[in-house]
Amino acid sequence: MELCIDGQKITPNPGQRLLDLVRELGLLEEALSRRPLAAKLAGEVFNLNYVPLREQAATGERPSIRRAMAASQGVVQLLRITDPTGRDVYVRTAQFVMFLALSQLWPKARGKMDCTVGPGLYVQVLDAPDFSVQALKERMRALVAEDIPLLRRRMPTQDAIDRFAAAGQTDKARLLAWRAEPYFDAYGWEDFLDYYYGELAPSTGFLSVWDMFPAEGGFVFLFPDEREPDRVASFEEMPNFYAVYAEGERWCRLMECETVADLNDLTLGGGIRELIRVNEALHEKNFSQVADRVCTQGAKAVMLAGPSSSGKTTSAHRLATQLRVHGKRPILMSLDDYYIDRDRVPPGPDGKLDLEHINTIDTDLFRRQLSQLLAGETVEMPSFNFLTGKREWTGKNLALDDDAVIIVEGLHGLNPVLLPEGLDKSLIFKMYVSPLLPLNLDDHNRIPTSYLRLLRRIVRDYETRGASVAHTISMWDSVRRGEKRWIFPFQEKANVIFNSSTLYELAVLKKHIFPLLTAVEPEQSCYDQVRAIVKILNFVREAEVDDEIPPTSLVREFIGGNSFYR
């Protein structure tokens, strides 16, 4: 069978790896920005050690073409670090090398994935009194220089559980106890065994651009710069962001729900209902504290922003409720109403409309009207018609009295370009909302914030807009690019960062999303992204506790039954 690898045709020999074919075609470049890390066949992603054509069997049978290769009709797309999936492969490879090095130098140490801070990953190191970042860095460099092949081993699930337990990795042993499949695939080297729920690069030598530096209780691992992947990204401290995440971890410990295995135990034993009540009470307390700060500051406008599916709309309503307790008259506004007409939006370099761009907002109009409102004037508010793609004027006038507080919710809410020059800063309160989920799969596998947000969006888009999983996922990379450019750079400047995650919601969302995900076929382009979601949800026990979730909950914004929208 002839293959077409990145547009170049080649006929594989039985037993040849994709890596061998890529090298033969001259595509295995040294620069990380151009070097293939993995391959996509139809909708699936594979390690470059994948063999498209199996060796001839001893019985004299003809060499057999692998199923995925047949499904792709021989078309192979190489994935590099500039591709989101390729970057995920690089991140997982870095995890393998760092935890392998840690286990070799400090066999009794416990390394724990904490959170992503900008281009860095914070990792805690426990039970290693003589831990040295410099020693770890040198050992990692040695492992990279050895260019160790990264191959998966298949073993019975119980054998994997026994091996992890014997190695002191009880977190992994507990997690695998919830695995339904009788087998488990893991990457290993010598006595070290681990897995990161996705493909790795073909060998440790592919980990060519990285750095690390000491941090309290562990270290920060730095990845390549997203715009210039051949150099290490620069790091900026984010103390406000990290403080909120650390507070979430503290609540995980208090509620004895630090991992998915803990969540499953609570679900099975009925303790998840108390977890819901405490989570919701914590949110209510935090909204009350935000309202206190708004009133103490004397702010007249709350600029509320956050990434997609972070719960911005419900957060605006719940903050409004708490402001009423203070005797304020909250007025909800949406930046969506300041969109310019769709036919006036300039296309991006690819000729498509970038609806995440700040130039889709009539910033001049917003600044002028905000200034007028704060000066006590009456203004006519615009309204955007999403069906026609046009702005409308419906005669809706607005003026602020002494007790009024505007809550402006939208993607670009923290962008300073929206604020008039010379404005008294005390009149504006900035709030950033994001679900900073502190729950881990196990010590070496965190559940990214973006993962939870994608789950929320898939469920909401299907329930409220009839959108398919494939449609929602097809837009996700564009949404993420917009967030990185227009939201994340301003989050640390907020007066308050609100963690909108709940520890229980994976168990609740699974019921709503799992049938949609399992209906996606391997040939669909979104299959690998869906499989990545399913790999995590396979370990989560579904909870039938919707009756316990209050109608004002942030989770209700996505599963339905939110009283603010009735």
pLDDT at position 63: 52
Residues of the chain with CATH 3.30.980.10: 86-222
Distances (CA, A) of 111 to 131, 142, 147, 217, 443: 11, 19, 23, 10, 7
Asked if residue 41 lies in contact with residue 1, where contact means CB atoms within 8 angstroms, the answer is: no
Q: How far apart are CA 491 and CA 414, in angstroms?
A: 7
Per-residue buried b or exposed e for 262-289, using 16+ beta carbons within 10 Å of the residue's own CB: bbbbbbeeebbbebbebbbebbbebbbe
Other Cβ atoms closer than 10 A to 64: 14
With a cut of 80, say whether residue 356 has pLDDT above it: yes
Distance of CA 451 to CAs 175, 385, 436, 438, 457, Å? 19, 31, 11, 12, 10
Instruction: Report d(CA 441, CA 456) in Å as an integer.
Output: 18
Query: To the nearest whole percent, how much of the chain has pLDDT over 90?
Result: 78
Phi and psi at residue 382, to the nearest 5°: -80, 165
pLDDT band at 107; cut points 50, 70, 90: very high
Position 183 confidence tier, pLDDT thresholds 50, 70, 90: very high
Residue type, 58: A
C-alpha triplet 256, 257, 258: angle, nearest 5°: 110
Sheet holding 496-499, edge to edge: 329-334, 404-409, 301-305, 428-434, 496-499
Contact 180, 212 (CB under 8 A): no
Tokens of 237: 């401290």
Between CA 85 and CA 351 the distance in angstroms is 24
Q: What is the pLDDT of residue 237?
A: 87
For 373-418, the pLDDT digits (tens) are: 999 999 999 999 988 999 999 999 999 999 999 999 999 999 999 9
Q: In this predicted structure, what is the pLDDT of residue 565?
A: 72
Residues of the chain within CATH 3.40.50.300 domain(s) are 239-565
Residue 327: what pLDDT? 96
pLDDT at 464: 83
Q: Which CATH number, 3.40.50.80, 3.30.980.10, 1.20.120.530, 3.50.50.60, labels domain 86-222?
A: 3.30.980.10
Strand, coil or helix: what is 522? Answer: coil
**463 vs 507, residue with greater confidence:** 507
CB of 244 within 8 A of CB of 432?
no
Predicted confidence (pLDDT) at residue 60 exceeds the cutoff of 70: no
The burial class, CB within 10 Å (0-12 / 13-18 / 19+), for 155 is: middle
Query: What residues contact 70, with CB distance under 8 A and at least 6 apart?
Result: none
Q: What is the distance between the alpha carbons of residues 103 and 120, in angstroms, rounded to a whole number?
A: 21
Mean pLDDT within 501-524: 92
Task: Label the pairing between strands 110-117 and 120-126.
Answer: antiparallel
**pLDDT, mean of residues 291-303:** 97
Element at 321 (helix H, strand E): helix 312-325
- Cβ–Cβ under 8 Å, residues 431 and 322: no
Structure tokens at 114: 């904490």
Element (H or E) spanning 176, and its range?
A: helix 170-176
Check: CB of residue 369 under 8 Å from CB of residue 414: no
Question: Higher-confidence residue: 21 or 115?
Answer: 21
**Under 8 Å between Cβ of 550 and 538:** no
- Taking the C-alpha atoms of residue 98 and residue 113, their distance in angstroms, rounded to an integer, is 11
The answer to whether 226 and 484 are in contact (CB under 8 A) is yes
Per-chain mean pLDDT for the chain: 92
Which helix H or strand E contains 295, and what residues bound it? helix 272-297
pLDDT tens profile 131-172: 999 999 999 999 999 999 999 889 999 999 999 999 899 999
Helix (H) or strand (E) holding 544: none
Least confidently predicted of 50-54, 135-139, 322-326: 50-54
Measured distance CA(553)–CA(500) in Å, rounded = 10
* CATH of range 239-565; options 3.40.50.10860, 3.40.50.300, 4.10.1240.10, 3.90.920.20: 3.40.50.300
Q: Quote the pLDDT of residue 350.
A: 72
The separation between the first and the last C-alpha atoms of the chain, rounded to the nearest angstrom, is 58
